[in-house]
Amino acid sequence: MTGDARLLSPAEVAAARERISRHVVRTGCPESFAIGEATGSRVFLKAEFRQRTGSFKDRGSLNRLLLLNPEQRRRGVVAASAGNHAQALARHAARLDVPCTIVMPDTAPLIKVSNTRASGAKVIQSGETLSDGMALVERLAREEGFAIVHAFDDRAVIAGQGTIGLEIVEQIPDVDAIVAPVGGGGMISGIATAAKAARPGVRIYGVEAAASPGTVRSLEAGRPVHVELSDTLADGIAVKQVGRLTLPHIQALVDDVAVVDEDEIIRAIFFLLEREKLVVEGAGAVGVAALLEGRLPIRAGERVACVLSGGNIDMNIVSRIIDRGLWADGRLASLSVVVRDRPGYLNEVTGVVAIEGANVLHIEHTRAFGDIAVGKVAIEMKIESRGRDHVAAIVAHLRELGHRVEEVG
């Protein structure tokens, strides 16, 4: 971590780009017509999940490694990371033959831990968050002589992340606004530095998870504020405190920071999966969530670049998000139907579902409920439908036949 409190200069970002350009991906920034239709603006998705390690962290970690002196390279580096910084640092350290130790939270996604180890880094899991691991990182640095590569509060790391901003203003020369996730603040600080130097009128908006609102709280207080975290899908931006170096950049260069909750993040991930065919992790989807929920002051027709910062999400989580999204849309529904306990009534109920053009995925019936009268039976059905209105039509049809029907959950 650097103690230099000066704001980063555009020249530092330009130098970082020259240094790292051969070894990172110049990611695409295609227009999303689906998000544009939903928001009334023109939205372009900066696809940082296309980096070799699945996130923007390749840029800053490589820039820091390339600035190490020979003795630092020989001794090695250490970092605390929830996963994306770990994977990027591990990969580039291995390529440069620099020993690498990573302290990861006990809660880090398995895929990120596995990928970090696979790149050759020594992984130590300790604590619940990135901030918890920093004490161990500092001890290892003292005892072993390792150089600390901070995930965000480092000038070289910020400069590397700032190369995203240079690419955006080249890819969308008349961009009106850039939306980026905020955790520790390194990426948005670098992007804002580069983009506002190249296009002074561009507005920069940050988005963080409601479970980790450190930037908003720090802006309100005028200093870095420690926050307690809740569980969040956006683990990549779950930090207890924004950086002491990054906060002044955010105060000076970022126009506003919005907050989105877990349900909104889930809807954004689901939207990207279904409409854009993109697999994006929670932290990477917060900008899309803010746009879809109207949390940012974007005017109709404006050109907006939204940074999709990473795609390292556990496939088990993706499966749950798909189910959650289908339930929210009514394309999956669970109905509880009480009918007379007579032959033919089960067939009548399933027949209604068939007539209405839906599909029964699972069904069971029982007589064991205390609130069901003798001579009645409860049928529990999980159905696949076309949406909320379709479910309502099925429920109405069943009620017309005299059955008691409730949608469950």
Average pLDDT for 74-90: 92
Number of domains composing the chain = 3
Together in a domain, 312 and 222: yes
Contact 161, 183 (CB under 8 A): no
Final residue belonging to a domain, choices 267, 294, 324:
324
User: Residue 187: inside a domain, yes or no?
Assistant: yes
Together in a domain, 206 and 311: yes
Contact 306, 176 (CB under 8 A): no
Which amino acid, one-letter code, is at 343? P
Final residue belonging to a domain, choices 324, 340, 366:
324
User: Residue 117: inside a domain, yes or no?
Assistant: yes
Together in a domain, 18 and 100: no
User: Residue 257: inside a domain, yes or no?
Assistant: yes
What is the predicted pLDDT for the residue at 2? 47
Rounded Cα distance between 175 and 50, Å, is 21
Q: Is the pLDDT of residue 193 over 50?
A: yes
Contact 180, 188 (CB under 8 A): yes
Rounded Cα distance between 192 and 213, Å, is 20
Cβ neighbours for 342, distance < 8 A, ≥ 6 positions apart = none
* Exposure string for 92-106, b = 16+ CB within 10 A, e = fewer: bbeeeebbbbbbbbe
Q: Is the pLDDT of residue 39 over 90?
A: yes
Say which residue, 46 or 240, is predicted with more confidence. 46
Together in a domain, 67 and 189: no
Together in a domain, 286 and 398: no
Together in a domain, 31 and 160: yes
Instruction: List the end-to-end C-alpha distance of the chain, in Å, as a whole number.
Output: 48
Rounded Cα distance between 240 and 296, Å, is 24
Listed residue (368, 370, 380) closest to 404, CA to CA: 380
Say which residue, 372 or 62, is predicted with more confidence. 62
CATH for 128: 3.40.50.1100
Rounded Cα distance between 39 and 47, Å, is 19
Together in a domain, 263 and 377: no
- 120 sits in the region (left: phi over 0; alpha: psi -120 to 50; else beta) called left
Rounded Cα distance between 58 and 161, Å, is 8
Residue 374 confidence class, pLDDT cut points 50, 70, 90: low
User: Residue 23: inside a domain, yes or no?
Assistant: yes
Together in a domain, 115 and 184: no
* Domain with 186 in it: 10-56+154-324
Percent with pLDDT over 90 in the chain: 73
Query: For 117-126, 209-218, 225-234, which range has the lowest pLDDT when averaged over its residues?
Result: 225-234
| Phi, psi torsion values for 186, nearest 5 degrees | -65, -45
Together in a domain, 210 and 103: no
CATH for 370: 3.30.70.260
What is the predicted pLDDT for the residue at 372? 56
Residue 195 tokens, joined: 């983009």
User: Residue 3: inside a domain, yes or no?
Assistant: no
Average pLDDT for 134-158: 94
Q: Is the pLDDT of residue 240 over 90?
A: no
Together in a domain, 231 and 370: no
Q: Is the pLDDT of residue 377 over 60?
A: yes
Together in a domain, 175 and 304: yes
Average pLDDT for 332-339: 90
* Exposure string for 158-174, b = 16+ CB within 10 A, e = fewer: bbbbbbbbbbbbebbee
Rounded Cα distance between 243 and 224, Å, is 7
User: Residue 139: inside a domain, yes or no?
Assistant: yes
Torsion of Cα atoms, 158 then 164 then 165 then 169, to 10°: 160
What is the predicted pLDDT for the residue at 129? 65
Together in a domain, 98 and 30: no
Q: Is the pLDDT of residue 171 over 50?
A: yes
Residue 341 confidence class, pLDDT cut points 50, 70, 90: confident
The position carrying tokens 């995203």 is: 164
Which amino acid, one-letter code, is at 49? F
User: Residue 31: inside a domain, yes or no?
Assistant: yes
Contact 47, 305 (CB under 8 A): no
Between the ranges 34-48, 76-90, 232-246, 335-349, where is the mean pLDDT highest? 34-48
User: Residue 1: inside a domain, yes or no?
Assistant: no
Q: What is the pLDDT of residues 316-325, one digit of tens each?
A: 899 999 988 8
Q: What is the mean pLDDT of the chain?
A: 92
Final residue belonging to a domain, choices 129, 148, 167:
148
